[in-house]
Amino acid sequence: MSESDVIETRGRFSIHFKLYITVLIMVVITEFIGIHKIPVGPGTIVLLPMLYAVIIGILITPQVLGKPIKILQKVISSKEVELAGGIVMISLLPLGVKYGTLVGPAVEKIVKAGPAFLLQELGNLGTIMIALPIALLLGLKREAVGASVSICREPTLGVIGGRYGISSAEGTGTLGTYLVGTIFGTIFFGILGGMAVLTGLHPYALAMACGIGSASMMTASSASLATAVPAMKETILAYAATSNLLTGITGLYSVVFLALPFTNWLYKKLQPRIQKGKEAV
Amino acid sequence: MTNIKGRIILNQLKVLILVAILILIGQQIGYGVSIIDAMPGMILVILICIVALIIKGFTPKLKFPAFAWASLIALILTMPFVPTSKFILEYTTNVSFLGTTTPILAFAGISIGMKVARLKELSWKLIIIAFLVFLGTFFGSAVIAQIVLKIQGLI
């Protein structure tokens, strides 16, 4: 079913009804629990309602708690799951507007920080230097290239899929990072955002780092960072949103022209040294 | 053709209205923003969303997502030297940023549930690498941003 067919209401009333009521209950519960901040030294573990929501959401699906608790499948079946996927894209829009209203008033400040915004995009290449050697140490071969080339959101999936095929070794690696990001990304970045203050890096620099090319991961990390450093909330959210928008535009080109050639080059250099005795592939 | 497009936008509008209701209820509970006070701002937000969806609907070849359009329109309308700025900001402050995030992640959580089974097919090594990639991307950018902002004297 295409994305526009999924949200069709005609003849699909009960699917819509069950899903919205479920989400309403989830929103009421998670907002009732509210924000919890756990100080860890100068850093903070920030637990936001959205974090509980994503966890409850995963838990109530047919393949998780729905498996042992059959009655749950009567409410959330694969049809409701499919509809939820179609709604996510639209439910992101009010957040998009909200981000715009945070960036607009700060536009002068953002133009001033322009060079930092552009150059930190190169920081995405930092992933290769850290992840590739360790992937090789773990014994991965060409999967290592696909997995560590970037944070592997949709543009990367497209590039690697086009170049090597999605079922190739490289494709398996990219798909792995993509999938882990999809499932654990918001939880991971939601906790990292508040904890990152511990590194001593300035919250504004961390805010720019939150824009990694995924709206939900950027939201989780920047909201958590902003809750940990409330005095800088406005600027943190504005910087994160701007950086994410920029990554959305530059991400694809950066993978094609920088990240992928660099990963392949580094693989050729490191593979024979790290995986001695095993032939290069 | 226009009929189909109209139908799609109507369905999208229904989703937006229901999501808006979820946000209004959520932020009343979580952040104490009264539903009545937040209503005008929420209507403004939905209007911008609809414009973004219409633009996206008519530019299918452009790889610019509706989310980015929504953000960009709101950005332009709230720049300090644009006359709409004051008016829009006055109302949209009552739509809490965190309030908009909870329904999204609730839907997202449900939609990724089916992928959990596929995780078992992955080698644990790829899962470790993925987390290293997350850390590398985040701190790689943060370190460069820190250096440049320092040089510029902005922090």
In Å, what is the CA distance from B144 to each residue of A35, A125, A226, A232, A269? 31, 11, 20, 20, 25
Count the domains in chain B. Answer: 2
My answer on whether B101 and B67 are in the same domain is yes
d(CA B19, CA A219): 17
Across chain A, what does the average pLDDT equal? 93
Would you place residue B1 in the very low, low, confident or very high pLDDT band (cuts 50, 70, 90)?
A: low
The verdict on residue A281 lying in a domain is no
My answer on whether B68 and B140 are in the same domain is no
Q: Residue holding tokens 């969303």?
A: B49
Evaluate if residue B124 carries a pLDDT over 70.
yes
- Asked if the Cβ–Cβ distance from A201 to B142 is below 8 Å, we say yes
- Asked if the Cβ–Cβ distance from B141 to A120 is below 8 Å, we say yes
For residue A43, report the phi and psi dihedrals to the nearest 5 degrees. -90, 175
Q: What would the pLDDT profile of A151-177 be if each residue is shown by its tens digit?
A: 998 889 999 999 999 889 999 999 999
Task: Identify the domain containing residue A30 by its residue range.
Answer: 3-274
CB atoms under 10 Å from CB of B46, counted, come to 18
Which of these, A221, A152, A216, lies nearest to A180 by C-alpha position?
Answer: A152
Evaluate if residue A280 carries a pLDDT over 60.
no
Q: What is the ipTM of this complex?
A: 0.93
The verdict on residue A280 lying in a domain is no
My answer on whether B65 and B132 are in the same domain is no
My answer on whether B42 and B14 are in the same domain is yes
- Span A260-265, average pLDDT: 96
Query: With contact defined as beta carbons under 8 Å apart, do A255 and A145 qualify?
Result: no
SS3 A213: coil
Tokens of B75: 């950005």
d(CA A54, nearest CA chain B) in Å: 4
Would you tell me which residues 86-125 of chain A have a C-beta closer than 8 angstroms to some C-beta of chain B?
Answer: 87-105, 107-108, 112-113, 115-117, 119-125
Residue A208: the pLDDT is: 97
My answer on whether B152 and B94 are in the same domain is no
d(CA A184, CA A177): 10
Task: Identify the domain containing residue B66 by its residue range.
Answer: 2-114
My answer on whether B35 and B56 are in the same domain is yes
DSSP 8-state code for residue A43: E
Q: What would the pLDDT profile of A60-118 be if each residue is shown by its tens digit?
A: 999 999 999 999 999 999 999 999 999 998 999 999 999 999 999 999 999 999 999 99
The residue type at B29: I
Evaluate if residue A42 carries a pLDDT over 80.
no
My answer on whether B76 and B146 are in the same domain is no
Evaluate if residue A15 carries a pLDDT over 90.
yes
Which of these, A222, A207, A213, lies nearest to A150 by C-alpha position?
Answer: A213
Would you tell me which residues 61-100 of chain B have a C-beta closer than 8 angstroms to some C-beta of chain A?
Answer: 65-80, 82, 85, 88-89, 92, 95, 97-100
Residue A278: the pLDDT is: 61
Query: With contact defined as beta carbons under 8 Å apart, do A112 and B154 qualify?
Result: yes
- Asked if the Cβ–Cβ distance from A130 to B132 is below 8 Å, we say yes
Query: With contact defined as beta carbons under 8 Å apart, do A57 and A45 qualify?
Result: no
The verdict on residue A145 lying in a domain is yes
CB atoms under 10 Å from CB of B120, counted, come to 6
Evaluate if residue B2 carries a pLDDT over 70.
no
My answer on whether B104 and B128 are in the same domain is no
The residue type at B143: V
Judged by a CB distance cut-off of 8 A, whether residue A151 touches chain B is: yes
- Span B124-142, average pLDDT: 95
Judged by a CB distance cut-off of 8 A, whether residue B43 touches chain A is: no
Count the domains in chain A. Answer: 1
Residue A270: the pLDDT is: 95
Which of these, A88, A60, A82, A56, lies nearest to A72 by C-alpha position?
Answer: A60
The verdict on residue A279 lying in a domain is no
My answer on whether B44 and B94 are in the same domain is yes
My answer on whether B45 and B108 are in the same domain is yes
State the Cα angle at A211 between A208 and A216, rounded to 5°.
140
My answer on whether B89 and B127 are in the same domain is no
Residue A68: the pLDDT is: 94
d(CA B137, nearest CA chain A) in Å: 4
Higher-pLDDT residue of B139 and A245 is B139
B37: alpha, beta or left? (left if phi > 0; alpha if psi -120 to 50): alpha
Tokens of B91: 């109302």
My answer on whether B75 and B92 are in the same domain is yes
Evaluate if residue A3 carries a pLDDT over 90.
no
Residue A279: the pLDDT is: 56
Evaluate if residue A281 carries a pLDDT over 60.
no
The verdict on residue A61 lying in a domain is yes
Query: With contact defined as beta carbons under 8 Å apart, do A174 and A259 qualify?
Result: no
